[in-house]
Amino acid sequence: MSDPQAVKFDVVGFNERKVDGMALVTGKPVFAGDLDQPGTLHLAMLTSPHAHARIRAIDTSAAEAMDGVALVLTHRNTPATRYTTAGQGYPEPSPYDARMFDDKVRFVGDRVAVVAAESKAIAEAAVEAISVEYEVLEPVLSIDAALAEGAPVIHDEPDSTGIWDAAGNVAAAVDVRVGDVDAAFDDCDVVVETTTETQYAQHVPLEPHVCRSYLDEHGRLVLYTSTQVPFHARRIVARLLDVPIHRIRVIKPRLGGGFGVKQEVLLEDVCGLVTLRTGRPALWEYTRREEFVSSRTRHPFRVRVKVGAMSDGTIHAVDLDAIENTGAYGTHSLTVLSNAGSKTLPLYNRAPHVRFTGKAVYTTMPVGGAYRGYGATQSYFALETALDELARRLDMDPVDLRRRNHIREGETSPIFAELGEGREGVAMTINSCGLPDCLTEGMDAFGWEEKRGRRPGTGPLRRGVGMATFMQGSGIPLIDMAAATIKMNDDGSFNLLIGATDLGTGSDTILGQIAAEVLGVPLDHIVVYSSDTDMTPFDTGAYASSTTYVSGKAVEKAAIQVRDQIRSVAQKMLDTDAALLSVEHGTVVAPDGRSVTLGEVCTRAFYGADQFQIAATASSVPEESPPPFLACFAEVEVDVATGIVRVLDFVAAVDCGTAINPIMAEGQMEGAIANGIGYALTERYEFTATGRMRNADLARYKIPGPVDLPPIRVLLVDSYEPTGPMGAKSIAEIGINGPIPAIANAIYDAVGLRLTETPFTPEAVWRALQSAGIS
């Protein structure tokens, strides 16, 4: 399969229906909050009204005395183990700086107590009856406040571990140097520098976090939960509650979107403890308000970038410094920070001199977490703005500047080896890079040549165009691991058991397609079951754009082993050499045309001579992380009288290798672009002076609706990644990086204004236009 021209697929590359589509479109009860169990306790949470305070006293007696209240949990009756809610591989690269319940609260919305009661209404009333005496401490509500001399120390507790510099409020830091950046800028013909700021945002999965817990007939704890990381959730809950891993089963049913926020273990520990203490089922559903205030967010960043180039446009030096606001806890602080460099700087590998420095800073604000794009989104704003300015200074087409500098097939970047997930990375060479086609096909579809250089005019409505390019990754090399089990049934069908976690992305379907392709059957002969720690093999989970590339490879390997077993049985039935047998269209065919069906093969294995179960389990540990590539083109209209920015057209041309299911790959891009447009234009947390979020609902936190978006046009360019399953790379995250820089560069084209702070709300744009004297 090394020659993509020779590859012809029967199932892969086709727009198969989602394997769970019928259940979803008919409204079957398939989500964690859908099933009801008699005797369920309902949970409600008391959260901190203060950004920074110590709990001096807490009185739960009135709540406990209420009819229907079963249990009240606080720091006084729960384990004091330090941990991180970040559902990452073990050992987690995030500091152990949190407790289930702490005697100190560090942001408005921090967990103080949870009530379990016969109904949600009783639980909520009991929460009101808890009285807490706080010693209010000075809040720390910005990066600058956190780094100021004499700033309050947010993590002053002695038992936290893994914090870079607790006394300085620094959760994590990175420092990577290649060449001699400072000297190199002196050799450059043009040097540009910019500093950008990005804001707090929330993932807003339509399904807020939800977890159900109960004891099975053997007294084992079952967590039926909306998680992206079932195996990490099991491990983390087991440690926190001091229960052996084998006494816990985590099941992820259908999931109503995640985008990273469900990579956190936020509900499972409490639900599990309630069930263990009471013996009763428990249900906890976050309200939309809690989803905003108490769950996880995108880390805000301040990024300064300096780019130097020669007069022909060759980039010679890049200096990138990122300061990340990780909020009250260091969840994903180091790895998001690392990705701000590792997923951006290798794109322009011509530069021999590169420096990437950064800090993740604690504040008493909402907690950052994993969010699609994972640091790259924040960093690309600065980098791609700088490249646009560089092109302008050099009087080059921004497309040509990218063409001159982007990484190509057969090339590498020292950053790959220098910087990984919070530690050293893994050296790799690019085997597939479709970026040249992304640029060409994207600009053709967009009409770049015709639209660029158009005079914006002098009326209130000014149009402009902008573009930017991106890479991301496909999983985390030498850290991620995915396994798949395939077993055969005597009608020629197969069970595919995977630890991989479908968040709604369609990964169950595309993993089924990979198995079907190898095994020579239609997709409906693959029964896909995923994300159940009792029944499916291990998988690190759905994050870092890992599933298609990493889990897909495990499925491909398991399917090949099963196919070999099928051949070995059929060899006896057809009395020929196994190596000559082909497995296709539900049959095993000999060179002379004789054949047996897969059903006959399995029936023989079950009931004939040498009985055995045709089955295999295979694991995949990626040795590299082949990047998908993306070119985005945006056309905007800026109303200089009102500051309103309308996106008129958005073209995204992407290289994800083989698209296992093209319509789903397009859907990943369209959704990511839509989310990115929201982040660029409207989505933000508004805070009071004391650090409370003011707009914690979907009326005031504005995500894009159907009338707010242009028709997003996605092009999948031809590409084949030789290390990927069926030539595939992953596509989940990359698209969300596109809108901010493409739109910012288009706004510059329209009105000559460099916006450096998101979101580009009408008020912000209008104020910037006023200060620049543009009207």
Partner 1 sequence: MRVSLTVDGVARDVDVDPGASLMDTLRSLGYASVKNGCDNGDCGSCAVLLDGRAVNACLVFTAHADGRAVTTVEGLIDLHPVQRTMLDMGGIQCGFCTPGMVMLAVDLLEHSADLDEDRVRDALAGNYCRCTGYVKQVEAILAAAEERGDE
Give the type of residue at 614. I
Output the smallest distance, CB 735 to partner 1, in A. Answer: 9
Transcribe 366-424 into DSSP letters: PPB---TTTTHHHHHHHHHHHHHHHHHHHT--HHHHHHHHS--TT-B-HHHHH--SSS-
Nearer to partner 1, 286 or 494 (CB): 286
Sign of the four-CA dihedral 230, 235, 241, 243: positive
Q: Give per-residue burial for 360-377: e unless 16+ CB within 10 Å, then b.
A: bbbbbbbbbbbbbbbbbb
Nearer to partner 1, 207 or 388 (CB): 207
Establish if 736 lies at the interface with partner 1 (CB under 8 A): no
Please state whether beta strands 248-251 and 131-136 pair in parallel, antiparallel, or not at all (unpaired).
unpaired
Nearer to partner 1, 258 or 313 (CB): 258
**Binding positions for partner 1, 204-223, rule CB under 8 A:** 204-208
Output the smallest distance, CB 35 to partner 1, in A. Answer: 8
Output the smallest distance, CB 709 to partner 1, in A. Answer: 6
Establish if 36 lies at the interface with partner 1 (CB under 8 A): yes
Draw the binding track, 680-699, toward partner 1 (x: CB under 8 A; -: no contact).
Answer: -----------------xxx
The length of the chain in residues reads 775
Nearer to partner 1, 164 or 286 (CB): 286
Draw the binding track, 442-481, toward partner 1 (x: CB under 8 A; -: no contact).
Answer: ----------------------------------------
Among 17, 82, 404, 572, binds partner 1 (CB under 8 A): 17
Among 34, 138, 180, 763, binds partner 1 (CB under 8 A): 34
Establish if 22 lies at the interface with partner 1 (CB under 8 A): yes
First to last CA, the chain: 58
Transcribe 531-572 into DSSP letters: -BTTTS--B--S-TT-IIIIIHHHHHHHHHHHHHHHHHHHHH
Q: Can you read off the two tokens belonging to residue 3? A: 């020659």
Cβ distance 230 to 250 under 8 Å? yes
Output the smallest distance, CB 256 to partner 1, in A. Answer: 3
Nearer to partner 1, 568 or 695 (CB): 695
Residue 514: phi, psi to the nearest 5?
A: -65, -45
Among 5, 26, 458, 771, binds partner 1 (CB under 8 A): 26
Output the smallest distance, CB 556 to partner 1, in A. Answer: 24
Half-sphere exposure in the Cβ direction for 195 (13 Å, CA) = 5
Establish if 27 lies at the interface with partner 1 (CB under 8 A): yes
Output the smallest distance, CB 169 to partner 1, in A. Answer: 33
**Binding positions for partner 1, 321-360, rule CB under 8 A:** none
Cβ distance 298 to 339 under 8 Å? no
Q: Can you read off the two tokens belonging to residue 123? A: 């639980």
Establish if 528 lies at the interface with partner 1 (CB under 8 A): no
Nearer to partner 1, 473 or 506 (CB): 506
Output the smallest distance, CB 705 to partner 1, in A. Answer: 6
Nearer to partner 1, 121 or 245 (CB): 121
Output the smallest distance, CB 710 to partner 1, in A. Answer: 10
List Cβ neighbours of 732 (8 Å cut-off, separation of 6 or more).
372, 505, 545, 547, 548, 668, 672
Nearer to partner 1, 190 or 709 (CB): 709
Establish if 503 lies at the interface with partner 1 (CB under 8 A): yes
CA distances from 415 to 185, 351, 429, 549, 626 (A): 19, 11, 11, 21, 14
Q: Measured between alpha carbons, how far is 155 from 162 in angstroms, rounded to an integer?
A: 12
CA distances from 299 to 6, 38, 119, 741 (A): 44, 40, 35, 18
Output the smallest distance, CB 207 to partner 1, in A. Answer: 5
Nearer to partner 1, 57 or 707 (CB): 707
Output the smallest distance, CB 34 to partner 1, in A. Answer: 4
Please give the DSSP secondary-structure letter assigned to residue 666: H
Q: Measured between alpha carbons, how far is 483 from 344 in angstroms, rounded to an integer?
A: 29
Sign of the four-CA dihedral 516, 517, 518, 520: positive
Please give the DSSP secondary-structure letter assigned to residue 487: E
Q: Measured between alpha carbons, how far is 48 from 59 in angstroms, rounded to an integer?
A: 15
Give the type of residue at 306. K
Establish if 31 lies at the interface with partner 1 (CB under 8 A): yes
Establish if 21 lies at the interface with partner 1 (CB under 8 A): yes
Establish if 67 lies at the interface with partner 1 (CB under 8 A): no
Q: Measured between alpha carbons, how far is 262 from 264 in angstroms, rounded to an integer?
A: 5
**Binding positions for partner 1, 258-277, rule CB under 8 A:** 259
**E strands within 2-154?**
41-47, 53-59, 69-73, 104-105, 111-117, 131-136
Draw the binding track, 286-325, toward partner 1 (x: CB under 8 A; -: no contact).
Answer: -xx-------------------------------------
Cα angle 373, 733, 392 (rounded to 5 degrees) comes to 65
**Binding positions for partner 1, 232-261, rule CB under 8 A:** 254-257, 259
**Binding positions for partner 1, 695-734, rule CB under 8 A:** 697-699, 703, 705-707, 709, 711-712, 714
Establish if 512 lies at the interface with partner 1 (CB under 8 A): no
Output the smallest distance, CB 613 to partner 1, in A. Answer: 33
Output the smallest distance, CB 605 to partner 1, in A. Answer: 35
Among 1, 29, 136, 408, binds partner 1 (CB under 8 A): 29
3-class SS string, 20-59: CHHHHHCCCCCECCCCCCCCCEEEEEEECCCCCEEEEEEE
**Binding positions for partner 1, 652-671, rule CB under 8 A:** 663-664, 666-667, 670-671
Total number of residues that touch partner 1 (CB under 8 A): 58
Ramachandran sector of residue 165 (left: φ over 0; alpha: ψ -120 to 50; beta: rest): beta
Output the smallest distance, CB 161 to partner 1, in A. Answer: 35
Nearer to partner 1, 32 or 171 (CB): 32
Establish if 230 lies at the interface with partner 1 (CB under 8 A): no
Q: Is 360 helix (H, G, I), strand (E, B) or coil?
A: strand
Nearer to partner 1, 22 or 774 (CB): 22
Establish if 68 lies at the interface with partner 1 (CB under 8 A): no
Transcribe 603-660 into DSSP letters: HHHHHSSS----EEEEEE--S--PPPEEEEEEEEEEETTT--EEEEEEEEEEE-BS-S
Q: Can you read off the two tokens belonging to residue 260? A: 């990273």
Establish if 18 lies at the interface with partner 1 (CB under 8 A): yes
Task: Note the residues at the interface with partner 1 (CB under 8 A).
Answer: 15, 17-18, 20-31, 33-36, 203-208, 254-257, 259, 285, 287-288, 503-506, 663-664, 666-667, 670-675, 697-699, 703, 705-707, 709, 711-712, 714
